[in-house]
Amino acid sequence: MEERFILAAERIRELKEELRNERKDKLTQEQGEGKKYLPYFEALTVFLNNALDTYEKIQNPDYFLRDLNELRKDQNLLFGELKPENYQDSFANPTFSVSRFGLSMGRYLAFLYWEEMQILPYIYERKTEEILIRLELFLEVYGEFYVNQFLPDEEAVRESLYWYVSDYSEDSTVARVREQFLPEEDFAVKIIEQEDLCKPNFLFRYGEYISENEIRTAEFLSSLPEETVNLMADTFTEGFRKGFVAAGKDLSIKGTVNIRYMIGFERVIKKAIANFEAMGLKPVIYRAAGDIFRKRGVVKVGYASGGVNRQAEYDHREDLSLFLDGHLVTRKLECAKAAYEEYKKEIRAFAGPACMETFGEAEFIPEDYEANPSFDEAGRKRYVEYQAKAGDLINSYIHMEERSFTIIAFPTPEISADFEQIFEETIRINTLDYETYQRIQGILIDTLNRADEVHVRGRDGNETELTVKLCKLNNPETEAKFENCVADVNIPVGEVFTSPVLEGSEGVLHVKKVYINGLKYENLRLEIKDGITRGGTTSNLPKNAVEENIMFHHEFLPIGEFAIGTNTTAYAVAQKYNLFEKLPILIAEKTGPHFAFGDTCYSNEEEVHYVNPDGKEMVAKENTYSLKRHTNPEEAYFHCHTDITIPYEEIGIIEAILPEGERIPLLKDGRFVLPGTEELNAPLEEI
């Protein structure tokens, strides 16, 4: 491996000079049409040489102690061409490459450029094999061009790329599984525990693009008193522990926890690690994937920075469409199964993810270009089937009924000039007194337990008109239709939720503005028939934004959850600072009724007993799809769960409809009206 690495690096060093000097001149004169590819290889060779230079420079222990401006300058050599002001002329941009080389070749070469750029995190982690396979891929493709007078057979180029994706699926899958479940994969943990977190220089050790947002976040957190940092971390880790207690799961049999966060929050994460270790859990912290083997669209799972250019990430979200065929699906699933089997003991010890999310980043409205790789109808179907089988496979090893999770969110400096005040308010929201909400939500649930249906209607331009069917209780004295959700796994406090009966649930769901998976949707409209939506429309995004980011390429999705959010304090803060378009779904879902499409909240955990604080067991955990897990398991789950919230101000009425036809209003004109719940209106009246 080391010998191959040295040879590949030496060849790329030589190639840089060749392309700059005599060979470039000769080819320019003699190759005619083929010379159009020379700027591509020259640019990519320059990038790879800069990456190799960095590989050597960071071995110096004083490298990261330099002035921030020097670190930024070096970073710009690596990431500069992806910055929005430069990206339009980058060969990593599919539109630019396609304009130079044609549709197919342009897409292949843009993919290659992007995949080569994914070498950067491995440079900093010093993962020689990950670096090597990308260096050798580049040299192989360059060789195809060189030996064919820079007019290679297009299919030969595709073959080189295809077999790279196929051949290294096994090694990459094993590497990812190790990152996900083995605490000895501790690259990020060492940064958190060993570096001086009061100096932002440490941020550049990750190999991610570090913007002013990450630097300001780290500097702000370093200024907070110890008790504030402890409160944030304690709320986070206690939510995880309470999730096991509430579900009657045994935490003592677990040994690891996956911590996910945005770079800049290390001071809080360091305290969280200590808290988890006191519970007997070692941290497994892995990077959000960017390469062809590990990424899933634009969704980032793991630690990450805000990135250098979200449009670039969006352009490459479906690079796998260039290669995914039946053989590759089989290959990837076989590799995953082998890796899970090898590490099944470590997977069984996994307690679940603890996620610290952020919100307030600069708005991103993606542009969809024809040059971007994308799945055709057959490929989309194949991809959905692959994701379903991959999800079922990992769930067969994790044992969802034994694990839990927690999610919490905090703002970043990009949110507004009021960042510090908003941060303080967010801490308050995340630490509200759960007993008050538990009591009031119990009153809501008592009424909902009597209902057959819930009717939701919008107002003031919100066109929602929707009926939600509820399950029947066999024993109303001991059973409940809604879960009383307080601040455990899902922080902050504030919702009651159920799995609706699909048959008879129908109407229109409409939201004026909502953020979903990082994208802002305006006038999002979904039609529902018998609990099913087959997609919808939005007025501001490309047509496929609903298909890709809400439907996840499924032809249809059921309503997996109906909930009523009760956190009026969060709503009032959002109103005060004009945050509605920036709230994460984690908080937004508590500020009105919300509907989730895909799996229920209890997917793969239907047999686990959940008991509300009043002692009644939550029984509405199934629908007609999840029930298929007993007979047709491949049709039971959709492996997604996308929440869409209607804010209070857009609610005309939410009413419980009893079997005899009586209608009991729960909310009217954006206010709680059910007797015993009125105190929730106090924050709203202060707006």
DSSP 13-65: HHHHHHHHSHHHHHHHHH-GGGGGGHHHHHHHHHHHHHHHHHHHHTTSTTGGG
Q: Is residue 427 part of a domain?
A: no
Measured over the CA atoms of residue 424, residue 430, residue 431 and residue 434, the dihedral's sign is positive
Q: Is residue 423 part of a domain?
A: no
For position 60, what pLDDT does the model report? Answer: 94
Closest CA to 592 of 477, 489, 660, 509: 509
How many other C-beta atoms can be found within 10 angstroms of the C-beta atom of residue 247?
18
Shared domain for 159 and 183, answered yes or no, is: no
Contact status, residue 462 vs residue 510, Cβ threshold 8 Å: yes
Cα separation, 220 vs 615, in Å, equals: 43
Integer distance in angstroms from the first to the last C-alpha of the chain? 64
* 192 shares a domain with 62: no
Does the global pTM surpass 0.85? yes
| Reduced 3-state DSSP string for 279-300 | CCCEEECCECCCCCCCCECCEC
Residues 6+ apart with CB under 8 A from 609: 247, 248, 617
- One domain for residues 58 and 133: yes
Tell whether 568 and 651 lie within a shared domain. yes
Assess contact for 473 and 224: CB atoms under 8 A: no
72 part of a folded domain = yes
DSSP assignment string, 644-684: EE--GGGEEEEEEE-TTS-EEEEEETTEE-STT-GGGGHHH
Same domain, 456 and 319: no
Same-domain pairing of 583 and 609: yes
Buried b (16+ CB within 10 A) or exposed e, 15-43: bbebbeeeebeebeeebeebeebbebbbb
In whole angstroms, give the CA distance from residue 15 to residue 386. Answer: 39
The b/e string for 659-681 (b: 16+ C-beta within 10 A; e otherwise) is: eeeeeebbbeebbbbbeebeebb
Residue 94 preceded by cis peptide, ω within 30: no
Residues 162 and 182 in one domain: no
Of the residues 134, 166, 198, which one is the last residue of a structural domain? 166
Q: Show the tokens assigned to 568.
A: 């009026």
Using alpha carbons, select from 559, 544, 548 the residue that is nearest to residue 598.
559
Of 112, 136, 166, which residue sits at a domain end? 166
659: containing domain: 432-685
Same domain flag for 133 and 246: no
Q: CA 499 to CA 595: how far, in whole Å? A: 10
* One-letter identity of residue 520: K
Tell me phi and psi for residue 638, to 5 degrees: -110, -10
pLDDT, residue 16, reads 82
The reply to whether 448 and 484 lie within a common domain is yes
**Do 212 and 126 share a structural domain?**
no
Contact yes or no for 172/294 (Cβ under 8 A): yes
Closest CA to 325 of 165, 444, 157, 94: 165
User: Residues with Cβ < 8 Å from 262, sequence gap 6 or more?
Assistant: 214, 217, 303, 304, 305, 306, 356, 357, 358, 412
Query: Which pLDDT does position 29 carry in this prediction?
Result: 55
Q: How crowded is residue 109: how many other Cβ atoms within 10 Å of its Cβ?
A: 26
Residue 252 lies in a domain: yes
Residue 460 within any structural domain of the chain? yes
Averaged pLDDT in 10-residue chunks for the chain of 687 residues: 94 86 57 82 96 96 95 96 97 98 97 98 96 97 90 92 96 95 96 96 97 96 97 96 90 97 98 98 96 87 95 96 96 96 97 95 88 94 92 90 93 95 96 91 97 97 97 96 85 94 97 84 96 94 87 94 95 91 84 94 87 93 93 90 92 97 96 96 88
Report yes or no on 474 lying in a domain.
yes
Predicted local confidence at residue 24, as pLDDT: 55
Please state the φ and ψ torsions of residue 65, each to the nearest 5 degrees: -90, 0
Q: In this predicted structure, what is the pLDDT of residue 542?
A: 85
Report the distance separating Cα 120 and Cα 52, nearest Å. Answer: 9
| Pair 78, 50: CB distance under 8 Å | yes
Question: Does residue 492 have a cis peptide bond before it, meaning omega lies within 30 degrees of 0?
Answer: yes
Task: Count the neighbouring beta carbons within 10 Å of the beta carbon of residue 436.
Answer: 14
Domain boundary among 166, 188, 220: 166
Contact 239, 489 (CB under 8 A): yes
pLDDT at residue number 604: 84
Report DSSP state, residue 152.
-
C-alpha dihedral, 357 to 532 to 552 to 211, nearest 10°: -30
Whether residue 640 contacts residue 533, with contact meaning beta carbons closer than 8 Å, is answered with no
> Is 415 domain-assigned?
no
Query: Does residue 486 sit in the same domain as residue 553?
Result: yes
Q: What's residue 174's pLDDT?
A: 96
Confirm whether 173 is domain-assigned. Answer: no
The helix or strand, by DSSP H or E, that contains position 266, with its residue range, turns out to be: helix 266-278
* 595 sits in which H/E element: strand 593-598
**Token pair 């509300």 in the structure block, residue:** 612
Three-state secondary structure readout of 425-443: HHHHHHCCCHHHHHHHHHH
**Residue 411: what are its φ and ψ, rounded to 5°?**
-80, 160
**559 and 661 part of one domain:** yes
Q: Name which of 475, 455, 454 is nearest 465 in CA terms.
A: 455
The domain total for the chain is 3
CA dist., res. 537 & res. 311, Å (int): 21
